[in-house]
Amino acid sequence: MENRIILKARHVWDGIHDSATPFGAILIENGKIQAVGPAENIMTAAHDHFYEWPDATILPGLIDSHTHLSMDGTMANYLDHMSDDVAVLTLRASAMMRRDVKAGITTCRCLGDKEFLDIACRHAVENGEVDGPRVLVATRGIRSPNGHGFVGYPFKGINEIRNAIRENIHRGADLIKIYITGTLKGKGDLPSYLTREEIRLAIEESHAANIPVASHCVGGQGLDWAIEFGLDTVEHAYHITSDQVERLARSGTGLVLTPGAVLSRERVDNLPRNLIQGHMDEREMMFRSMALTVSAGIKFAVGTDGLHGELVQDILYLTELGASNVDALKAATIRGAKICGIGNETGSLEAGKRADIIVVKGNPLETLKDLRNIRAVYKRGRLVHSEASDVFSTPNFAHSVQQ
């Protein structure tokens, strides 16, 4: 007997359209989506497992496109804690991944962690040893010896950078992360800590192995070079100018916004003491730059940068920056998938895709905060988290809800 599951809810939002299907349903078979649409169009069979949420919305699992598995943005001095012992970091990463799953994150992209612990985490999740989203990993972040990057390692010059990239890829990196700039602008021009040649080398070396490159890059000359050489994703873009927004729009480079990391006062207060005032001084400026990318129609994804379980906060910030609710939701689903390079596998509810699905009470298309009301989380068709008190199954297909 095939393992078929049918989920039915007041609304189904597929991640593609701008509105939800009322009284919709989704059919899952062997971990994949078979059909989505109005409930009456979904053909049922005698042995289907059938779950219905009368007051909920079914939507694609959320994608945190920029995080660090062992970072906990709720800790005081959380950046300094990225230098904790690797055993401590790994245990923390395990707890953070569990937090992600409970909040409906079915995929995350990790932009650097220490000592290849992200590879171990990815394996542990794949083997079912720990709970967690599907993880794409960058392994060691690559920065210059004088550059920014709390989760990076220093590499000097072209040869060291090339060797570091090769080793990251050999160890199993899904992408390469380079730190081009710091986060704050300060006075004068924003410095690029990597040279033009180092940026070019990093991108060419990774692309030669079919591996994409993401960069912590907030603006300045380094951003122009990165776009010129075909960087895959620019992360943060806190100080991007209107000229650069135009260049970005014309390029093939994707954008991942992480607004909460600098706009949330609580988050800024958790930075190392010497960084707090600078962030407060530049907060308005960073808001305006990010808003520029939204109003220009740049296709962006969204990430928490290490605030596990709270992607909804960043989604809400996107609407403050000018995005509509549905646009903000797409950033956290289908556009996240596309920008992370897995748009053909997940990110929307379409036949043939992985059944990465969440069920939330209410309707997040109208009220984004409803994303906090997680009822169920499915990863590849498997129930990985459930708050299922208000679910019921039809009498014909009576069975108990898995916990």
Identity of the residue, 68 or 385, whose beta carbon is nearer to Zn ion in the bound complex: 68
| In the complex, minimum distance from the CB of residue 97 to Zn ion, in angstroms, rounded to a whole number | 16
Residues between 49 and 78 with contacts to Zn ion, criterion CB under 5 A? none
| In the complex, minimum distance from the CB of residue 305 to Zn ion, in angstroms, rounded to a whole number | 4
How many of the chain's residues bind Zn ion (CB under 5 A)?
2
| In the complex, minimum distance from the CB of residue 368 to Zn ion, in angstroms, rounded to a whole number | 23
Q: By beta-carbon distance, which residue lies closest to Zn ion?
A: 305
Contact flag: residue 113 with Zn ion (CB under 5 A): no
Candidate residues 100, 282, 305, 310; the one interacting with Zn ion per rule CB under 5 A: 305
With contacts defined by CB under 5 A, name the span among 80-88, 108-116, 163-171, 329-337 that binds Zn ion: 108-116
Question: From CA 372, how far away is CA 361, in angstroms rounded?
Answer: 9
Distances in Å between the Cα of 363 and the Cα atoms of 60, 79, 366, 371 are 13, 35, 6, 8
Structure tokens that stand for 305 in this block:
């940068």
Identity of the residue, 36 or 301, whose beta carbon is nearer to Zn ion in the bound complex: 301
Buried b (16+ CB within 10 A) or exposed e, 182-205: bbbbeeeebbbbbeeebbbbbbeb
Identity of the residue, 118 or 305, whose beta carbon is nearer to Zn ion in the bound complex: 305
With contacts defined by CB under 5 A, name the span among 165-173, 175-183, 300-308, 362-370 that binds Zn ion: 300-308
Closest CA to 14 of 66, 65, 57, 71: 57
Question: From CA 235, how far away is CA 250, in angstroms rounded?
Answer: 17
Strand bridging mode 141-143 / 233-236 = unpaired
| DSSP assignment string, 6-46 | EEEEEEE--SSSSSPEEEEEEEEETTEEEEEEEGGGS---T
| In the complex, minimum distance from the CB of residue 341 to Zn ion, in angstroms, rounded to a whole number | 18
Q: Are 24 and 39 in contact (CB under 8 A)?
A: yes
Specify the 3-state DSSP secondary structure of 346.
coil
Amino acid identity, position 341: G
Identity of the residue, 56 or 111, whose beta carbon is nearer to Zn ion in the bound complex: 111
| In the complex, minimum distance from the CB of residue 98 to Zn ion, in angstroms, rounded to a whole number | 20
Identity of the residue, 111 or 257, whose beta carbon is nearer to Zn ion in the bound complex: 111
Binding mask 314-353 for Zn ion (x = CB under 5 A): ----------------------------------------
| In the complex, minimum distance from the CB of residue 136 to Zn ion, in angstroms, rounded to a whole number | 14
Question: From CA 47, how far away is CA 305, in angstroms rounded?
Answer: 43
Q: Contact residues for Zn ion (CB under 5 A)?
A: 111, 305
